[in-house]
Amino acid sequence: MGSFSFLTSFTDLQLPEKVSIAAHGLFLLLFLFFASARRVFSCSGFQLGVFKDDGQGSISINGDSGGPRVALNYWFKICIACCFYVLLLQLGLLGYQTIGLFWFKARLRDYNGLFLPFVQSLAWIVLVLSARHCKFKALCRFPFLIRLWWLVSFGLCVFTCYVDTRGLIDESLSVNSHLIASYMSAPPLVFLFVVAVRGITGIELCRDQENLREPLLVEEEEPGCLRVTPYSDAGLFSLATLSWLNPLLAIGAKRPLELKDIPLLAPKDRSKTCYKILNANWERLKAENPSRQPSLALAIFRSFWKEAAINAVFAGLNTLVSYVGPYLINDFVDYLGGNIAYPHEGYILAGVFFGAKLIETLTTRQWYVGVDILGMHVRSALTAMVYRKGLQLSSLARQCHTSGEIVNYMAVDVQRIGDYSWYLHDIWMLPLQIILALAILYKNVGVATFATLIATIVSILITIPLAKMQEEYQDNLMAAKDERMRKTSECLKNMRILKLQAWEDRYRLKLEEMRNVEFKWLRKALYSQAFITFIFWGSPIFVSVITFGTSILLGHKLTAGSVLSALATFRILQEPLRNFPDLVSMMAQTKVSIDRISGFLQEEELQEDATISVPQGLTSKAIEIKDGDFCWDPLASRPTLAAIQLQVEKGMRVAVCGVVGSGKSSFLSCILGEIPKISGEVKISGSSAYVSQSAWIQSGNIEENILFGSPMDKQKYKSVLHACSLKKDLELLAHGDQTIIGDRGINLSGGQKQRVQLARALYQDADIYLLDDPFSAVDAHTGSELFKEYILTALATKTVIYVTHQVEFLPAADMILVLKEGRIIQAGRYEELMQAGTDFNALVSAHHEAIEAMDILEYASEDSNGISNADASTFRKRLMTSASNADSMNDGKSENEHQSDIKVIKEKKKKRRKKQLVQEEERERGKVSLKVYLSYMAAAYKGMLIPLIILAQTAFQVLQIASNWWMAWANPQTKGDTPKTSNMVLLVVYMILAFGSSWFVFIRAILVATFGLAAAQKLFVKMLRSVFRAPMAFFDSTPAGRILNRVSVDQSVIDLDIPFRLGGFASTTIQLLGIAGVMSKVTWQVLFLLFPMAAVCLWMQKYYMASSRELVRIVSIQKSPIIHLFGESIAGAATIRGFGQEKRFMKRNLYLLDCFSRPFFCSLAAIEWLCLRMELLSTFVFAFCMTLLVSFPHGTIDPSMAGLAVTYGLNLNARLSRWILSFCKLENKIISIERIHQYCKLPSEAPTIIENCRPPSSWPDHGKIELINLEVRYKESLPMVLHGVTCTFPGGEKIGIVGRTGSGKSTLIQALFRLIEPVNGKIIIDNIDISNIGLHDLRSRLSIIPQDPTLFEGTIRVNLDPLEEHSDQEVWRALDKCQLGEVIRHTVQKLEAPVLENGDNWSVGQRQLVALGRALLKQARILVLDEATASVDTATDNLVQKIIRTEFRDCTVCTIAHRIPTVIDSDLVLVLSDGKIAEFDSPQRLVEDKSSMFLKLVSEYSTRSGSIAE
């Protein structure tokens, strides 16, 4: 009788006790298994996943005094205290039960009470020891098994407390020791639950000898960019809960995140890996069948199918478990109605519902993280491929794709293809979802399911014509966007010329017109999208009406359970059906984008056989061209270069000369392999370096531009600076060679840019140097010094081919090539060509004329009949004597000059700490201001549409709930009950309510589209006007990529994204309130959980947003450098290829892509981190609601209403996460508005027109210019450039402005046009202070031929007269005068002759002549020539000077020139030095003054040209 059976005793226990004993017993077994297995595997170095601490390493602590000491914070101590507390509680309970068992001498002892405390005591002993062990291993995260054990213990405690509380309420249970112990263990288990979720131990390392406390992970001290993301080696639990992101979010909660805080991507996620995989598959496809077009979509699939397949498993599992709830609702309603099929059915159903929702939550997040990563991989790989292609495009293909278009390929098309990953699984999931839905419906409504199938197919078929319509609209929208981006890019690049010519309003209006075309297609796209939204919100309603209608007509008896099950199924089916238009639209858009990028990737590349590389040891020739015919345009009637024969020995110096447009630059291009080869062969032996005619400077500092990717060699670097005459320039710059160069080298003078280019080439130490007119942009002194130090000394042993218009540099050449109309008409040494006569003689004669023009006596006595040759030669001798005197004085002056230079340099060094011109891109920090939201809402119709949108959405939600309630209430609860109304009334009322709700959706969609269109247009116009009115300093210091990013990416977000995000957030909020309302109506107790849950949700959302906002801002900023590098690389592609630097630039692009992907990846993961926690919370609330429903006694609640609550509750977690997600995504997208707002509030230039201060229409009538104490600087943070300049330019006279490079000549002109406002002083033109009149009035009355000749894409006619103020006859006259008439007449289109982007199909000299043509048409009283003839040969220069003397005889002409003959015939010469007036007098007087600086400049030029002049 005293014996007992353990098994019998165990079976007599209550359910909670059984579950607790089983769970703790299982964990003890698992612990023993893993502990022993770990011993076995430790020999092989294998680490078991459950003991991995989620991606964080451990550091063993030894007892040495020198090693790190463990410091335990309160978190760890409280955690251990909680474990001890629970252990003591269980030991106390075990002791109490044991004493009670033996104290009361019962005949049959009940051992049941010992089971639970005994097992739990064992369990907590293991847990306490394991937790303490973390201290000795110095783990920063608790092992996975311990955390899971705590989580389960907490769950068991909640379950036990719930059962005990119910027992106490219904008096089936009395107070006992187990019950008290359960309640007492609840508080510590709540804390341990939090610890388990966070996973952090709170252990830190402390180094005694340094008295420093440091984090456990030593890597944390290193810059963030050296740490790889914990995601790469996170444990299973960390991956499932996304807790690997916790450290980053913790930093973000404390302070705004920076790029350095964000860890590196894992190697498999980096751009380089993705690019290599995709490129290999693309090349393989091209090779498999060369005759067919390769499929880019297939290449992407082959590259990333494994990721997609793993992702498909999560998507499929998610779809399956999402249908568990609808399937079981009927059984649940039957159970509540009293039909109990088996014991504990209610709890089992609640458990299945809970388990299914839990699995659905976890798989959803893994699925979404997976598609995010897949999209990121595709984007990175495609961007890299587009960039590489951009560097390899042939000249012909380059003409078809402008920089703006290629930026759009990267910014829009690649983004869209990456976003398609979200829709990838919908193609196969939609049929699966329909099949599952039909199976459930068949169970509930029988054969009416076939009507459902037909209705569903009809709903899908309707989308086909809509998809085609959407595709057409998208095509046109993208084409219009391309056009606008192309023109915007061009305007930003040439903003200086637009402002100088007062054309900015005209070009802004052009852009607004282009935007209007784009807006027309955008409007069509958005309104068609609104119609599609109506169709697809209506389609589930249409399907449900057809289903129920058919079922009723067939005589099938519906019940509340079957109706609710069907409605829950329709609600799940509604999601894929509603997403189907998005899928169709996205497929259409993605197809367009794939076709565009595929077409671009298949464009013609530079000919690989354009040049043949010959190993250096095999030949003595550096360059050899045989029978070379080359042509830029294959359709042209005659080749650009014809019958080229050339052999250049190694070490030769070859000069190339010829008139404007003779093919000199094209000749260098044929050696580089840039120009398409028709016939012949080009052989090159050795590496090459190329210096282009238009300087190409990268953004970055000067040192980086010179090194150009090569390692620093201090000695070599110094000698390069010396050879390029850059030392003094660098000393004068505020930051020396660390000065950040603005966009396109904007803060360097033309000469400095050219010398930086030359330094870059020299530093590369190449074998062959190709120099395209490198001396045109520098003054005479610097030019001669450069020629001597650079070409004659530094490149003495190299092969050099230099194009030049300066005849004085020709005698030093071993061979001179004379080009005319694309042919080499003469070749030989200087003396040989002089004897041969013809064209070369003509060039030299023109130079003689220029030297003659320096004969001031001849110029001074133009009114007389002339002077004898003897007198002329006397003057020349006198000039040469003056030159020698000036040279002899140089030594005397050098000491003083040296002293003044040192003084200037000291001043500059004091200012070194001042800001650079180009700053880091600005970003807001902290919370997005409420003003941003309000300003957006007020942007359209003053916000009047917002209440209407909310009203329409509310009406939809109310009607939808009413329709579902009607169906649940009107149908019988069980099969035997009688219906509450007739079938016809049931169906008609349902249809009215259901279709009424879909109409309100249509109204909301139309209102949202209308609001979004108006707001987007208003913001765009406001930003565009603000940017065009910004001062020139803004464009100098802002890379074009930043502005393009806003007008491209951010504007697209405002156009297509934000209005729908705003509408979506409003609709989700109202839906969530509806669900909460329905649930609380049936089970009001759920409100006790809903309010705390809402509070926790808001806290989590706030915690998440602190990091998310900054991540999105960093993402936006990191996008700009990618776009900027792309634009820059396309512009300098020839230079990059000339140096063979394609690989380095490709690496740079991949690096920038990774800098973008890092915050982007963390930003996406952070959204899923938040959603997971939100959904888990709502899942627990749903489980609580279910448990309450099954716990109520039968008959206390209406089963159909309870079923309705469950139907809506099934949707709670999805709606809650969507609500938080839509708010977070809205705030993240709102950052685009924030960024555009920054550019809507740019500081503006002075007004274009001041009505009460308008000058007379004839002003300026004399052209007198007075400069009074003029002080100018480019920016407050930069030093002064002009220091107190005071002088007067008399009206109608010719003023020459000369000075060394960087002396302030161009700055003076900018002040005259008010591109820079003076700090002090004023400029008066014909008695009007120019600061008092509008900028348009000023600039439109002045004329300029700028240093950098600029042509706009379009036609010659548009380039000469963009404002269309002149007739064709006037334009032809201007062309004839500027020597372009004949060239234009020979073209097929005449005045409509095309001009490509940047004027690439016209030579630099021809572009300069077009600029002269503009000035001739404008006929302003004041003309400024800023190095206007630097890029033309001497003969053309002389001709231009004659035209100016004739056509502008009564005008004030201010000429900045490095060629002394250009200014020698001026009435007055202004000599500037370091921003101050050195001299201002007539050239005759200045030459007579032996100490004048002007004489020194004249003598340098004369000396340089002396050998030829003799």
pLDDT one-digit tens code per residue, 534-576: 877 777 778 888 888 888 888 777 777 777 777 777 777 766 7
Q: Please tell me the predicted confidence (pLDDT) of residue 579.
A: 67
| Model confidence at 55: pLDDT above 70 | no
- Spatial neighbors of 132 by CB under 8 A, at least 6 apart, are 80
The one-character DSSP state at 1179 is H
pLDDT at site 35: 67
The sign of the torsion formed by the CA atoms of 1199, 1201, 1202, 1208 equals: positive
The distance in angstroms from the start CA to the end CA of the chain is: 139
Query: Does the pLDDT value for residue 119 go beyond 90?
Result: no
**Cα torsion angle, 1116, 1122, 1125, 1130, sign:** negative
More confident residue, 1084 or 1447: 1447
Confidence at 349, pLDDT banded by 50, 70, 90: confident
DSSP state of 793: I
- Reported as a pLDDT band with limits 50, 70 and 90, residue 759 is very high
Q: What is the structure's pLDDT at 112?
A: 66
* Identity of the highest mean pLDDT range in 14-23, 50-59, 615-624: 615-624
In three-state form (DSSP H/G/I as H, E/B as E, the rest C), the secondary structure along 1041-1094 is: HHHHHHHHHHHHHHHHCHHHHHHHHHHHHHHHHHHHHHHHHHCHHHHHHHHHHH
Give one word for 814, left, alpha or beta, with left for phi > 0 and alpha for psi -120 to 50: alpha
CA dihedral sign of residues 846, 852, 854, 859 = negative
**Does the pLDDT of residue 905 top 70, yes or no?**
no
Residue 1506 pLDDT greater than 80, yes or no: no
In terms of pTM, does the model score above 0.85? Answer: no
CA 905 to CA 735: how far, in whole Å?
Answer: 11
Strand partners, 1297: 1456, 1470
- On whether the CB atoms of residues 1105 and 257 are closer than 8 A, the answer is no
Q: Is the pLDDT of residue 109 over 60?
A: no
pLDDT tens digits for range 823-862: 888 888 888 888 776 667 777 776 666 555 555 433 333 3
The answer on pLDDT for 863 being more than 50 is no
Q: In what order do the strands lie in the sheet with 203-207?
A: 69-72, 203-207, 212-214
C-alpha gyration radius of the chain: 41
Residues 912/735, Cβ–Cβ less than 8 Å: yes
Q: Which of 531, 543, 528 is nearest to 576 (CA)?
A: 543
Q: What angle do CA 39, 41, 43 make, to 5 degrees?
A: 85
Phi-psi region of 38 (alpha: psi -120 to 50; beta: other; left: phi over 0): alpha
Interatomic CA distance for residues 739 and 736, integer angstroms: 6
Q: What pLDDT does residue 2 have?
A: 40
Cα dihedral 82, 86, 91, 96 in deg (nearest 10): 130
User: What is the rounded distance in angstroms from the CA atom of residue 803 to the CA atom of residue 665?
Assistant: 8
Biggest CA–CA distance in the chain, Å, is 152
Q: Tell me, what's the pLDDT at 846? A: 67
Lowest mean pLDDT among 269-273, 322-326, 360-364, 912-916: 912-916
Give the model's pLDDT for residue 519. 92
Query: Number of H helices and number of E strands within the chain?
Result: 53, 27
For residues 1460 and 1462, what is the distance between their CA atoms, to the nearest angstrom? 5
User: What are the Cα distances from residue 1299, in Å, to 780, 1015, 1303, 1362, 1498?
Assistant: 10, 52, 6, 34, 11
Q: What does the chain come to in residues?
A: 1510
- Beta-bridge mates of residue 769: 689, 800
Q: What type of residue sits at position 969?
A: W
Q: Distance (Å, rounded) from C-alpha 1471 to C-alpha 1295? A: 11
Q: How far is CA 814 from CA 770, 798, 802, in A?
A: 15, 12, 12
Lowest mean pLDDT segment, chosen from 348-357, 430-439, 1211-1220: 1211-1220
- pLDDT, mean over the chain: 79
**In this predicted structure, what is the pLDDT of residue 1487?**
85
Residues 1179, 935: Cα–Cα separation, whole Å: 37
DSSP state, 50? Answer: G
Question: From residue 1179, how far is each of 362, 569, 1209, 1210, 1392 by CA, in Å?
Answer: 11, 19, 9, 9, 69
- Average pLDDT of span 1444-1472: 83
Residue 767 has pLDDT above 60, yes or no: yes
Res. 222: pLDDT tops 70: no
CB 500 within 8 A of CB 1313: yes
pLDDT tens-digit readout, 609-655: 788 888 887 888 889 999 888 888 877 778 888 888 889 998 899 99
- Rounded distance between C-alpha atoms, residue 1140 and residue 764, angstroms: 11
- Does the pLDDT at position 211 exceed 90? no
Q: Using the predicted structure, report yes or no on whether residue 106 has a pLDDT greater than 50.
A: no
Q: What is the DSSP letter of 393?
A: B
**Directed axis angle between helix 983-1028 and helix 1212-1240, to 10°?**
20
Give which of 610, 606, 582 is closest to 682, Cα–Cα: 610
Query: How large a percentage of the chain has pLDDT more than 70?
Result: 84
Assigned token pair, 433: 């979802």
CA neighbours closer than 13 Å in the CB half-sphere of residue 317: 18
Question: What pLDDT shows up at residue 1509?
Answer: 37
Tokens 């040969």 belong to which residue? 1433
On the question of pLDDT at 213 being above 50, the answer is no
**57 has pLDDT over 50:** no
More confident residue, 904 or 119: 119
